[in-house]
Chain A
Amino acid sequence: MTDASHNPAELPIKVAARDVTVSYSGKQALHNVSIDIPDRSVTAFIGPSGCGKSTFLRCLNRMNDTIEGAKVGGSLTIDGREINDKSIDPVVLRASVGMVFQKPNPFPKSIYDNVAYGPRIHGLALSRPELDEIVENALRKAGLWDEVSDRLAHPGTSLSGGQQQRLVIARAIAVNPEVILMDEPCSALDPIATARIEELIDELRENYCIIIVTHSMQQAARVSQQTAFFHMGNLVEYGPTEDIFTNPRDSRTQDYITGRFG
């Protein structure tokens, strides 16, 4: 069912993929994935290791460009613009498609400079007060401001794991992204820090299209409105999260989410 391109949430489509394929040095990792991902909601990608979910996620900000031997085919649009077009600068694209990784990866800089880095290189702030405002706003949106406002000059790496992850989210937000990709953002965090990130994701979805890859099905169930199940490089099933977890249509989805042998 790779043409699972329906729109479960009836929200405007942000990301549209048609027959997206990826191969690494001739070995196909993703087979003809077609999917419509709505704006202002959270879409979870689930599936066993090696199923292609992270590969597909990496297509959305052209991170496969950086992998030698990687070939991406098919059409992938954000707001109708083809992102693999030669005219698209991947650096500019990555400002509008932010990425949060499994392990928090703050720059070896101060908390302030971590957030200010993007706005500076993209020329988003004309003055120091303007930059201060961008940094404060981003930290507030990431739910971190109250915890760090009195120590903005401290290194980002001095924060706890959960705080670092929120700092990285603030860094992504600071450049006004439209899409935020998260690749297992909580897998290195304890349950309380995880709950904070999940609460943050729920708040952020009001303004962003969020796509999260997670190995925790409970997390997918908790945070997402749509869930896509990948298996062996195919998009097997895509639909409202509630349906996927109560009544999956495909036996492979069923076996995976109930913890059975496929």
Chain B
Amino acid sequence: MALSRTAHIVTAYGEELDQLADDLARMGGLVETQLEKAIAAVVRRDASIKPDIKAREAQVNALQVDIEKRVLRLFALRQPLATDLRMTISALKIASDLERVGDLAKNIAYRAGDLAGYAPLPLTQQVERLGAIVIKQLREVLDAQSSADIEPAVRVWHSDDEVDERYNTLVREMLLAMTEDSGLVGPGVHILFVAKNLERIGDHATNIAEAVHFMVTASPLVDDGHS
């Protein structure tokens, strides 16, 4: 059954659950922005973004600590049950995935700085495209979380295959380009790391999709055979 929208009898308890949801939404928003900026910086080969990304990462980490504290407090003082229990557990899992995504976005931004000295690179468009897909996945799955809607979560879960395919193609093409032009090996490695980080972010979006599915339905998201 769907999550209850009915208010708790104990108002403070309901407020604590709301605050947890708010924290999670804020953390998701921050990570999304971080990733967008990091990918844009890679495309521009722009080193200037580093301090900004670093500051945001500190915010993301602080929010994760905050969410963990809230969850601990809810368990100790409120003993959440049923949908409240599932929402609380999911928040904990999602926050840890988001923290990892923030970390990977930071790595991507740092690679953008490493690319700053190089001429425009081939396959940048493909990286941008992969980044756009991963951002979309992350956004959809976070929206699915806040609206407790499993349909987009399941879609994101299935679309991870597309991310993997694009990533594999990009690696293959980059290796080919590097074989043809050894001058591409230096910047090409940075691009490969960016792509790898994006692929990992896709995996975290998948984890979040699974957490949303469990939160709403109380059952794990498993392959139904027609992905």
Q: Give me the interface of A with B, judged by CB distance under 8 Å.
A: 217-218, 221, 245-249, 251, 253-255, 257-262
Contact = CB atoms under 8 A, between A and B. Distances in A.
A254 B9 contact: no
B10 to A, nearest CB: 6
Contacts of B6: 255, 260-262
B8 A259 contact: yes
A259 B10 CA distance: 7
Given A254-B4, A257-B81, A260-B4, A246 B9 contact: no
Given A217-B81, A248-B82, A260-B9, 11 more contacts: A221-B81, A246-B81, A247-B218, A251-B1, A254-B4, A258-B4, A258-B80, A259-B8, A260-B8, A261-B6, A261-B9
Interface residues of B, number: 17
B81 A245 contact: yes
A221 B79 CA distance: 11
- Which one of B1, B13, B82 has the greatest number of beta carbons of chain A within 10 Å? B82
B85 interface: yes
B159 interface: no
Contacts of A245: 81-82, 85
Is chain A's interface secondary structure helix, strand, loop, or mixed overall?
A: helix
A258 B7 contact: no
A247 B82 contact: yes
Contacts of B82: 245-248, 253-254, 257-258
A227 to B, nearest CB: 11
A51 to B, nearest CB: 16
B166 to A, nearest CB: 37
B7 A261 contact: yes
B9 A259 contact: yes
A249 to B, nearest CB: 7
Interface in B73-91: 79-86
